Amino acid sequence: MGNKQVMVNFDSPFVFLQDLEDQLQNKGSQNHPSLGSIRLWQFKKDPQLQLFSFVLSTSKLDSKMIQVHLFRCKIQHPNLFKYYACLNDSIIGGVEKQQYFFEYHPKTLNQQTILAPLKEENIWDIVEQIIDVMEYLQKLNLFLGNLSTEAILIDNKQKVKLLDNLGQQRLNKFSFQEDIIQLGLIILEMMTQRTSQLNFSKALKKLIGQYSLQLLQFTSKLLQTNAETRIDFIELKQIIKNRIKIPITNKQAQIIQTEQEYSKCSIELIVEQQEIEIIKQKQLQQQNQIQKINTLQQSQNKQMQKISLSQIPNQIFFPKNNSKKKDKIKNQLNKEKIIDLFQQIHKIEDFQEQIQAQKQNLNSSINSSRSTQLLFSPSQRISTSPNSSIQSPSNKFSKKQTRSSNNIHNI
């Protein structure tokens, strides 16, 4: 490495009074798909600790190695590459070659994605880590500029590691938007294993039922093409904090928790939280309507139980031949009362059929209200099925013929 100017991070395991070449073992160079030409190192005292270094060439007059070193020692985040040291490797013709050392992990997110599409909980975990470190850089007015699955390293604890641009600040307030779009593409790649998509909306639509509606809609927001309405990482951090913790998928028909009970909600497409609340309120109203119908039906059943043929004397249907005229008149009056009772029975039976038909319409309405329409435009809203309104049952019912009614006609 040579006896050049060397600066070491204060919290690194390096010994200040010893040369770096005596503390590191050269493991060769390689061309990394994202980091470029790098050299790998192994810490002699701890072989598990792997480092990589890259070289920057700059004019000696414009050298800012000391400023970069001090700045990089100052910023610390668990998802940023840990910075260890730097040195001016050589000076030839006024050109200074600066070498910077960082922690290294061989596994990239791209390698992990190629094996199989990631599970939703793993995707959210990675996204939260990326947003957390990107928000940290945005508050420092720094940018990344190379956000991709190949540039994201994964350590042995499944933690995301990113390399910053060594203190380079944003050119303008919209420079972060490139990173926003890249994050959306990374999420899409983790779900589809494809690094490029011709149609974002079509790709997201195919994923309905495989991933939660929240994740698909969140990805859609990141891929917005309107630069003026696109959100930044500070806003994304708040969205992540407030996101629904229970994913809702089409195939699993997951459960939305309400204050009183859990209501099954089979949603086919992407909806927002406000739209989900509308569906839950509508279902609650319809369930209350069914409860009222059940109460009314129970009341009618009680009336039916009060009308019992066993309470009618047999002599009304089968009068004696020697019965007196007074008894005949009394029996005739009783017959008229019985006919009136059976007419009431028919009315109750007809009314019960109407109640049953109305319950079926309500159940059909609840099922239809659970379906929504895919909307990627924020200005559009979901539209529920027109069958969700309560429909009046048809009055055309055929009356039941009972054995007791036949007996009345035979009297």
Percentage of the chain beyond pLDDT 70 is 65
Question: How confident is the model over 116-145, as pLDDT tens digits?
Answer: 999 999 999 999 999 999 999 999 888 777
Same domain for 301 and 227: no
Assess whether pLDDT exceeds 90 at residue 184: yes
CA gap 300, 34 in Å, rounded: 76
Mean pLDDT score, 309-320: 51
Does residue 122 share a domain with residue 97?
A: no
pLDDT-derived band at 272 (thresholds 50, 70, 90) equals: very low
* Domain annotation covers residue 257: no
Among candidate residues 47, 71, 103, the one where a domain is terminated:
103
Asked if residue 88 and residue 113 are part of one domain, the reply reads no
Sign of CA dihedral 152, 248, 240, 381: positive
Return the top range by mean pLDDT from 15-19, 100-104, 196-200, 359-363. Answer: 100-104
Give the pLDDT of residue 3.
Answer: 52
- Total of domains in the chain: 3
Whether 289 and 399 share a structural domain: yes
Would you call 372 helix, strand, or coil by DSSP?
A: coil
Give yes or no: residues 52 and 173 share one domain: no
- Pick the last residue of a domain from 66, 82, 103: 103
Show the domain range for 191: 109-252
Torsion of CA 315, 321, 326, 332, to 10 degrees: 50
Taking the mean position of all CA atoms in its chain, how far away is CA 324? Answer: 84
Each residue's pLDDT tens digit, 377-397: 333 333 333 343 333 333 333
pLDDT (0 to 100) of residue 366: 55
In whole angstroms, what is the distance from residue 52 CA to residue 102 CA? Answer: 6
CATH number at residue 93: 3.30.200.20
Give the pLDDT band (50/70/90) at residue 165.
confident
Determine how β-strand 262-264 pairs with β-strand 6-8.
unpaired
CB 152 within 8 A of CB 99: no
Specify if 132 maps to a domain: yes
- Ranges of H-type helices in 104-212: 109-115, 120-139, 177-192, 200-206
In order, the DSSP letters of 226-277 are -TTT---HHHHHHHHHHS-SS---TTTT-EEE-SS-EEE----S---HHHHH
Instruction: Output the domain CATH number for residue 123.
Output: 1.10.510.10
Do 157 and 211 share a domain, yes or no?
Answer: yes
Q: Which of 14, 72, 74, 6 is nearest to 41 (CA)?
A: 14
With b for 16 or more beta-carbon neighbours within 10 A and e for fewer, the 72-81 pattern comes to bbeeebebbb
Within a domain: residue 265? Answer: no
Residue with tokens 């859990």: 262
Same domain, 131 and 10: no
The answer as to whether 96 is a domain residue is yes
The answer as to whether 69 is a domain residue is: yes
pLDDT at position 402, please? 39
Residue pointed to by tokens 């004397």: 313
Taking only the tens place, the pLDDT of each residue in 55-84 is 988 887 667 888 899 999 999 999 999 999
Report how far residue 297's alpha carbon sits from residue 411's, in angstroms, rounded to the nearest whole number.
Answer: 32
pLDDT at position 370, please? 46
Sequence-ordered list of residues with C-beta below 8 angstroms from that of 110, at least 6 positions apart, any chain: 33, 148, 149, 150, 152, 189
- pLDDT at site 178: 84
391 and 310 within one domain:
yes
The whole-model pTM stands at 0.59
Higher pLDDT, 400 or 236: 236
- The percent of the chain in helix, strand and coil, each rounded to the nearest 5, is 45, 15, 40
| Confidence category of residue 104, pLDDT binned at 50, 70, 90 | very high
The answer to whether 75 and 164 have CB atoms below 8 angstroms apart is yes
Q: Are residues 338 and 282 in the same domain?
A: yes
Please enumerate, as own/partner, the contacts of 76-81 that have beta carbons within 8 Å and a separation of 24 or more. 77/132, 77/133, 77/136, 78/133, 78/159, 79/129, 79/130, 79/132, 79/133, 79/159, 79/160, 79/161, 79/162, 80/133, 80/136, 80/161, 80/162, 80/163, 80/164, 81/153, 81/161, 81/162, 81/163, 81/164
Q: Among 76-80, 93-97, 287-291, 387-391, whose mean pLDDT is lowest?
A: 387-391
**For residue 74, is it within any domain?**
yes
Q: Which of 54, 87, 103 is the last residue of a domain?
A: 103
Would you say residue 29 lies in a domain? Answer: yes
Do 137 and 245 belong to one domain? yes
Asked if residue 213 has pLDDT above 60, the reply is: yes
* Number of neighbouring beta carbons within 10 Å of residue 286: 19
Query: Does 367 have pLDDT greater than 80?
Result: no
Looking at the fold, whether 393 and 299 belong to one and the same domain comes out as yes
Q: How far apart are CA 385 and CA 283, in angstroms?
A: 13
Strands 255-257 and 83-92: unpaired
- Give a yes or no: residue 17 inside a domain: yes
Co-location of 221 and 291 in the same domain = no
